[in-house]
Copies of this chain bind each other. A is one copy, B any other.
Amino acid sequence: MPAYRPSTPPPPPPASARELITAHGGRVTRTRVAVIDVLLGSQHPLSHDEIAAALDGEHIAHDRVTLYRALEWLVEQGIAQRIASGERAWRFEIRRGGEHRHAHFHCERCGQILCLEDVPTPASAPLPPGFAVERAELVLHGACAACGRHAQKGEQ
């Protein structure tokens, strides 16, 4: 599923997995490279499970725990970010273009997540004194086009 971006220019091409890892002082390992490649190749955030399936599809051996730890490291290093997307499992996406943070759409019928590249997450809000916002998550829940059509048919 592609990201929906009605007008903005495409983001800059991301660095290679190897570059990303060494730039952060990490070791270049099979699982890390494969995970980054999978995330780079996806236009929407992926769950641990979906990433594991992608690795299986490419016949890249991997351990469940190692995969969790690779993802954890990517988030720690700021290479990827975690999204709490309505379902119980986290989803992960590569951070593209610096501090850019967009909202997400979650289809409650089919579970898909779509990046809303042109909907920014609000960076500030009236907060009590002393509170500091570091990041924001905005998730819109509803029905995607395909699921909306199905529902209409069913309701007639």
Contact = CB atoms under 8 A, between A and B. Distances in A.
Nearest to A5: B126
A27 B104 CA distance: 38
Interface in A1-33: 4, 6
A110 interface: no
A121, A128, A130, A148 — which one has the most chain B CB atoms within 10 A of its CB? A128
B119 A131 contact: no
Oligomer: number of copies = 2
A79 interface: no
A4 B130 CA distance: 13
A105 B131 contact: yes
A4 B134 CA distance: 18
A145 interface: yes
Contacts of A122: 119, 122, 138, 140
B137 A137 contact: yes
Interface of A: 4, 6, 84-86, 88, 103, 105, 108, 114, 116, 118-119, 121-122, 125-146, 148-149
9 tightest A-B CB contacts, nearest first: A130-B145, A134-B142, A133-B142, A119-B125, A84-B84, A4-B128, A133-B140, A132-B142, A136-B140
